[in-house]
Structure 1
Amino acid sequence: MKYTTQMDAARKGIVTPQIKTVARKENMRTEDLMERMARGAVIIPANRNHVNLDPEGVGEGMRIKINVNLGISKDCSAIESELDKVRAALDLKAEAIMDLSCYGKTREFRRRLVEMSPAMIGTVPIYDAVGFYDKNLQDITVDEFFDVVERHVEDGVDFLTIHCGLNRHTAEKVKQSKRLTNIVSRGGSLLFTWMEINQAENPFYEHFDRLLDICEEYDVTLSLGDGCRPGCLHDATDACQVEELITLGELTKRAWERNVQVMIEGPGHMAMNEIPGNMMMEKRLCHGAPFYVLGPLVTDVAPGYDHITAAIGGAIAGMSGADFLCYVTPAEHLRLPTLEDMKEGIIATRIAAHAADVAKGYPGSRAWDDAMSKARAALDWPGMFDLAMDPVRPRQYRESSKPEHEDSCTMCGKMCAVRNMNRVLDGKDIQLDD
């Protein structure tokens, strides 16, 4: 029996290699996985041209996945340095990489990225369109926008971020609103500008079926971008954001009718108390589709530390229903991240994702923490390092400040609570003085 997409296969009862792999990774019955895929609650982004993909599931009942943004730009166009970041991201177990390249040899970078990466790959084609055609934004035609989309999917990209929900009606809401930061989505702002100058509808909204044709042909997942995501706490959960979300829910149902997999992108900046309600609202308005969030960043006053503000929000979002976390680095709002910035962002986001998995009771997640606790109780330093999310840094800290006694550290020395409890419970004497 033939199928067009992973969703189509699930609806027809066909167990694809990708479905089999994800079921094994998630320790889930294939029948349960396929039921969730059939109704759109789980996606497996898997472009048929991405031949070395190690597929992952995103959505209901899945372990929370993380995404890493990178790519070349006019100011930082060195392909090899960005590929070094790709290798590091894969080593740090990122499940997805988004290529946000917008200038230079973007297709060469994208093709090399797809070729080397077993992680799923996403792109935002409108970024590439501006640099590729090398002409004013307003002069790019509808056909040219779609030609870039086709180029990306031909190259093997697994999911596309397209800001289809920012139509002219919502654009009017933006102009009437009293937002402090207007539109902060790069893709959203480009489409808003194109619509305003040309007095035309968003081409991806107006010609949504054409976009679905492309996605269906290559089995590409559509990541419906949030052009009106809040760029500060003040703008969170306003009419612009909610109206666009309603439109994305309508587009989701149209995509599912064509067996095209969908995930929804969300905020942005948002106070902690608003996050659970936003997660519930998205799931309701978008019919249970997987939710992909940037942060959310829970305060606006920590530039240089936004990987922390995002990890706080990401943990709350994940616990409340978000399925996919986009990393944020310390360089957010400031510059293209360095390799070290990227590592900091990945670890912070992985911490948030794992903390949310523990809170939700994802099978096996607590066992990792329990294993670490046992190693700590036994003062098994090598065991602790092996179990650490990032084994490198704890080893470096330990080596940089060696204690007098191997069964302690330089913080507590002989007053180490764990050491002394172990000794007294074993009936040994405790000598605190030298």
Structure 2
Amino acid sequence: MNYTTQMDAARKGIITKEIETVAKKENMDVNELMKLVSQGKVAIPANKNHKSLDAEGVGQGLKTKINVNLGISKDCNDIDMELKKVKKAVEMKAEAIMDLSCFGKTQEFRKKVVDISKAMIGTVPVYDAVGFYDKELKDITSDEFLKVVEKHAKDGVDFMTIHAGINKETADTFKRNRRTTNIVSRGGALLFAWMQLNNKENPFYERFDDLLDICEKYDVTISLGDACRPGCIKDSTDASQIKELITLGELTKRAWERNVQIIIEGPGHMTLDEIETNMKLEKKLCHGAPFYVLGPTVTDVAPGYDHITSAIGGAIAATYGADFLCYVTPAEHLRLPNLDDMKEGIIATKIAAHAADLAKGIKGARKWDNNMAVARQKLDWEKMFELSIDPEKARKYRAESNSPSEEQCTMCGKMCAIRNMNRVIGGKDLNVLRDDD
């Protein structure tokens, strides 16, 4: 039986290799997974031309996934360095990589990323349009925007951020309700500018059916971009953000009618107490579609530490419904992340994702922590390193401590509670002051 997309296959009862792979990874019954994919509550981004893909699912009942942003820019045009980041991100088991390249030989880099990455690959085609055509934003036509989308689809990109929700109505809402930081989405700002300069409708909204033709052909998942995400605490959960979200919900239904998978992108900056409400709003207005969030960043005053402010928000967001976390690095708002920044961002986001999976009761999540608890009780350092989210750092810290005994570390020494409880319960002598064991 033939099928066009993973959603189409699921609706026809066809178990694709990608559905089978995800079911095994998630310890989920394949029929249960197919039902969720058929309903749009789980997306499996899997472009037909991405041959090296090891498929992942994003959505209801699945482990929270993380995405790593990278790519070349005019100020930092180093393809070799960005490829090193790709390889490291895959090594660190990031489930997705977004190539946000916006300058130079983007196709060359994009093809290399698709070829070497078993993680799903995302892009933002509007970033590429200016460089691809070597012409000013105002002069790019709607046909040309769609041709860039098709080029990315042919190259094997699994999901694309498309800012189709910032139509004329949303733009008018924004203009009537001014913000402190205006529109902080790069793609959203480009499309808003194009609309204003040309006095035309957003081409991705106006020609959404043409966009669906491309995505259905290659099985590209649309990640509906949040052009109006808040860029500061003061702008959160405002008229522009909610107006766009309503539009994204309408577009979601249109995509599902064509068997095109959808992910919804979300905020942004907001305070801790707003996160739960925002997650519930998205799930309600967008009919249970998977939710992909940047952060949320829970305070504006920590440049250099936004991997922490975003991990705090991400853990809460995923607990209350977000399915996919975009990593944020210490370099956010400051510069292009280097390799070390990327690693810190991945670790912080993986911690947030796993913390949420524990809270949501995701199958297998608690077992990982339980195994760590047993290793700690046994003072089995090698097992602790093996189970660590960042084994490299754990080993480094242990090696630097110069602890005189495997029964302790240099923080508590012989007053280590685990050491002493193990000795007392085991009927051994307990010495805390003497130098002998």
Q: Give the TM interval when normalised to the shorter protein.
A: over 0.9
Deviation at 1:405, TM superposition (A): 2.0
| Corresponding position: 1:383 with 2:383 | yes
Aligned to 2:97: 97
Q: Distance in 1 between matches of 2:59 and 2:151?
A: 27
Partner SS for 1:148: helix
Give the Cα–Cα distance (whole angstroms) in 2 for the partners of residues 370 and 41 of structure 1: 30
Gapped regions of structure 1 (runs ≥ 5): none
Match of 1:243 in 2: 243
Q: Does 1:47 align with 2:38?
A: no
Distance 1:46 1:323 in 2: 17
**Pairing 1:287-366 to 2, within 5 Å after superposition:** 287-366=287-366
The number of residues matched between the two structures is 434
SS at match of 1:335: coil
Distance 2:91 2:288 in 1: 32
1:429 is aligned with what amino acid? D
**Following superposition, which runs of at least 4 residues in structure 1 exceed 4 angstroms of deviation?**
none
Provide the rounded CA distance (Å) in 1 between the counterparts of 2:59 and 2:318: 11
What is the aligned-residue identity percentage?
69
Q: Which amino acid aligns with 2:327?
A: Y
Displacement of 1:205 in angstroms is: 0.3
Which amino acid is the alignment partner of residue 339 of structure 1?
A: L
Aligned-pair distance for 1:383? 0.9
Q: Tell which deviates more after alignment, 158-167 or 134-143.
A: 134-143
Find the counterpart in structure 1 of residue 279 from structure 2.
279
SS in 2 for 1:410: coil
Distance in 1 (alpha carbons) for counterparts of 2:62 and 2:313 = 19
The residue aligned with 1:17 is 17
Local SS of the residue matching 1:222? strand
Q: Which residue of 1 aligns with 2:184?
A: 184
Deviation at 1:311, TM superposition (A): 0.3
Cα distance in 2, alignment partners of residues 339 and 273 from structure 1: 33
Q: The residue matched to 1:104 in structure 2 has which SS?
A: coil
**Separation in structure 2 between the aligned mates of residue 312 and residue 131 of structure 1, nearest angstrom:** 36
> How much does 1:138 deviate?
0.4
Report deviation, 1:339.
Answer: 0.2
Q: CA deviation at 1:433?
A: 1.1
Cα separation, 2, equivalents of 1:178 and 1:221: 32
Q: Give the Cα–Cα distance (whole angstroms) in 2 for the partners of residues 368 and 393 of structure 1.
A: 18
Mapped partners of 2:113, 2:266: distance in 1: 25
Equivalent position amino acid for 1:89 in 2: A
Superposed CA deviations along residues 256-301 of structure 1, whole A, max 9, x for unmatched, are 0000000100000010100001000000000000000000000000
Deviation of the 1:16 alpha carbon? 0.7
Q: Are residues 1:204 and 2:167 paired?
A: no
Q: Partners in 2 of 1:403 and 1:2 — Cα distance?
A: 63
Letter in 2 for 1:106: T
Q: C-alpha separation between the residues in 2 aligned to 1:120 and 1:169?
A: 33
Q: Which residue of 2 aligns with 1:407?
A: 407
**Which structure 2 residues correspond to residues 92-131 of structure 1 after superposition, within 5 A?**
92-131=92-131
Instruction: Give the C-alpha shift of residue 168 in structure 1.
Output: 1.0
User: Which residue number in structure 2 is paired with residue 262 of structure 1?
Assistant: 262
Deviation at 1:406, TM superposition (A): 2.2
Q: Secondary structure at 1:256's aligned position in 2?
A: helix
Matched, 1:2 2:2: yes
Alignment of 1:218-233 (within 5 A): 218-233=218-233
- Greater alpha carbon shift after TM alignment, 21-30 vs 258-267: 21-30
Equivalent AA in structure 2 for residue 148 of structure 1: V
Q: Is the partner of 1:201 in helix, strand or coil?
A: coil
What per-residue deviation string (whole Å, max 9, x for no partner) do you get for residues 36-65 of structure 1? 111100010000000111000110111110
Q: TM-score, normalised by structure 1?
A: 0.99
How big is the shift at 1:169? 1.2
* Distance in 2 of aligned mates of 1:21 and 1:286: 27
- Look up the SS of the partner of 1:115 in the other structure: helix
- Give the counterpart letter for 2:99 in structure 1: D
Once residues 31 and 246 of structure 2 are traced to their aligned partners in structure 1, the CA distance between those partners, rounded to angstroms, is 31
1:140-159 superposed matches below 5 A:
140-159=140-159
For the pair 1:392 / 2:413, whether they are aligned, the reply is no
User: 1:59-70 maps to which residues of 2 (within 5 A)?
Assistant: 59-70=59-70
In the alignment, residue 122 of structure 1 is paired with which amino acid? G
The amino acid across from 2:166 in the alignment is: L
Q: Which amino acid aligns with 1:67?
A: N
2-structure distance, mates of 1:198, 1:394: 55
Where do 1:365-380 residues align within 5 Å? 365-380=365-380
Amino acid at match of 1:263: I
RMSD: 0.6
Q: Which runs of 5+ in 2 are unaligned?
A: none
Shift in Å at residue 178 of structure 1? 3.0
TM-score by length of 2: 0.99
Deviation at residue 427 of structure 1 after TM alignment:
1.3
Cα distance in 1 between the residues matched to 2:71 and 2:332:
14
Which secondary structure does the structure 1 equivalent of 2:293 belong to?
A: strand
Q: Kindly provide the CA deviation profile for residues 76-119 of structure 1, in whole angstroms up to 9, marking residues without a partner as x.
A: 11111000000100011000000000001100000000000010
